[in-house]
Amino acid sequence: MSIAIWIVIALVCFVIPATALTQGGSRNPQRKQLAAHAQQVGLPLPAAMVPAVVQRIKRRQRGMGIGGATGIVIATLIFIVFFDNEDGVAPALLIFLAGAGTALGGAWAIAAFRPDPEADRPTVARTRSIGLSDYLTRGERFGFWLVPLVMVIGSLGGAVLLQQLPEMPGVNGVLMGSSIAFAALVTWGIAFVAIRKVLDAPARSASELELAWDDAERADGLRQVTNLTIAVGGLSLVFWLICISEALIFDGFYRENEPLAWMMGGISLAFYGLLIAVMAWGPMSAWLTGQRKGYEQRQLWPTGVSS
């Protein structure tokens, strides 16, 4: 497929859904859409607070739109310079950079904003410091912190498995798999910095309810970043599986060594399937059980929020 089709796919899959409420931060959401969003978040939204909340939403979605568009532009330039239209790696790069740009752009919008200290309005301050445990469930945090270890284990296992299979001329499966795993580790490092920046970003609110809305925006931004990191880690493990599969079918190896091929294929699927399941279990469980909905409110506002 041409690069134009992949750009449309990236926009439809990542940028447009993430910024649909405000159309990339360019417009105020419609009243029905905003009411549905408030119901999804689980917080009341009185009329007097709508402007402040909408400003926060628009700011983050504008950052996501800019980040996603920037990722698409960078991927397109790389596609034009280094790849041709038939190369399957380039579309994957486009999808990855669009998703990463969208998530990190939203985090950047939160971290970069600095409230005016001279603003003539009441200010609500926190009575205690906040951390990642106030915004993400234990399972979500576990999945995020597990990514580096899973990348190392997956790379070591992939190297051992590929050593048992014939080498393909001009293709070093271990090097390719390790390179993708390294890229996943770099993504995790960037995500870690982004998370710290979001947690350290100041918040000034005129009421507890407005501060609770700020918490909801931060939780959503942090969740996007951690989910991105876990997804990239999972894809890097899938790439190891692809490398092993190619080695199994190279030059008819699986026909001449059918028992070994079946055994290596089964071990590889079980090994990487288990790693992916362990890494993704926490976020998936939090989503399926609904535990993540309103989690930051239960942590930061256990006695409720006053408007």
pTM of the model: 0.87
pLDDT of the residue at 136: 96
* SS3 call for 65: helix
pLDDT of the residue at 1: 60
Q: Where are the domains of the chain?
A: 1-114, 133-307
Both tokens assigned to 231:
């997804």
pLDDT of the residue at 281: 95
pLDDT of the residue at 171: 67
Give, as one character, the DSSP assignment of residue 27. S
C-alpha–C-alpha distance, residues 219 and 187, integer Å: 19
pLDDT of the residue at 85: 55
> Which numeric CATH code is attached to 133-307?
1.20.140
Give every residue of the chain whose pLDDT is below 50, as ranges.
Answer: none
Picking from 221, 228, 225, 229, the residue whose alpha carbon sits closest to that of residue 147 is 229
pLDDT of the residue at 253: 64
Task: Annotate 119-131 with DSSP letters as a single string.
Answer: --S--B--SS---
The amino acid at 196? R
